A and B are shown apart, each in its own frame.
Chain A
């Protein structure tokens, strides 16, 4: 193999060749130039490879078992007050802790899924316009980075169906990262976090769902709260509702405003059937809401883009 110096000399020579172009007959210039360019690219690539190899050789090995570098300082941790937990994760931990205290198991959502879990198992008819509302990304193979944590419902129901046979209830909360194909601005992110809840038993009711949701938000905000609902539409629940809470005092609520927190409803019989649960014997409810918004509200944040920015200036607002 040519040495680095030889390659550099060659490049110099080649560069000189370019001067000859103007002396050539016009019809030959283009081809000649093209050929030179190809050669030049090759040499440059070889030079880069040789330089990288030389650089690699220059690198001294280190003793992987030592506590510090030769002639170096003993390393010290950064000062503790520099450290921070991500606010979304802190919040998610709180949400999980509340659900656990209410007797819910926790299962994290997957971050790459398929059409079956994302739509088919949830009673979305093939090609139904309701699928449009989810603005999903897709991979070449047709996999989907899920657009909602409901993508886990079928798995969670299947995995816990045995509990029903034992006379128990299925109660699972499913936090996870979800994705929507939308342009990013201060209030929209293509990547965000949701938490799903799934509850199935022999005789649970819509009134139970409202009870659980109110309990959750009362624990979350540490106060008694009024709630209300709006009709919604999701193919995987029937009835479908939007759930609202009175704006809590900690967020400046004075008993007048309402906050839309999540979508919910009684699980559609087809969804239970798809998970091998007999809808004539069991019934359930499910809900899902965003975590990002909880954090934005709690800390009075206005730009959702900061969450995935890894900017220390932002994160330092959340030092431990």
Chain B
């Protein structure tokens, strides 16, 4: 008997005993009386303050949030909501319960080596799904900042760098963390892709993006016509453009790397007005806020960041980007980190800085919870604390925007994924 076969035989022995154990366990479980385990075993979080971010912007003091499985089962004040028997109670009377923060612009899917696959100037078929490392160090630290879902998108090295993925920060396999793929289409306007090669400028980049989208739209319309029975010619399947069909159906948005007045204007005009794509303005920094009237007209979402101010040399003024967008009437406004540019765990601090430069705390908190969730079309299950939504939240020592407050516990889908008492990370 050589060494390999000995190992193999041991392995088969092991498997056999495992099988025996499994059978024994099944028999035990089946023979247990049905009434021994309670019907439901949830968790009740008793907190000092609950910021719901729901439709009526309720803030409840001395609140209870009931969690059953991965969902929120009940929300209310301690007087009106009774904790069912058998529920585990988490006493956090001096903490705030805040919806899990959402970041609509994040690059920490996996190793930062495959952030930008710059094969062509547009790479429409790629997706970040294949690069995700669910438990990487940056994601771990994101939990410490109370961040629960993020949109993992490719970099802005090319005009079109692929499809992003909406993922949770809690979970250890790709299947665990992925919420939606494609999460968005990443398009990058000026301010990075021009470094692709000599001669690439704004005219060419716009043409390049436009013609790719034209092709994708034609593909989508061809299939639409076939599916609706308008034509009997079945179009050829094209893996490059098939992913775009969801985009044109409005199932997911385009996340657009866009900044500077002229560039943001082109983005609004080309993507939202001409193509009718649901477009989220990421970055939207420098003097991009000057396009506010256009953005209001198109009813678009703006996810501002990572830059929080723009210094106008000609006027010697510091403009808070978020404050200026807000002032321009853009209320569908959120904040991002562009992690790892700003560490993911500092998403709430980005909101703090938006406030220092003139924005307001409550809209800023909404800008890191409900607004990005709405922008990404995931607000049906995250972004606020409401019955039926995912149990994604953080327990904070106070106003989550204040850098003096810390996130003591983060819960994703009802599971505690970060506990400062076990190991404090931020």
Q: Does A associate with B in a complex?
A: no
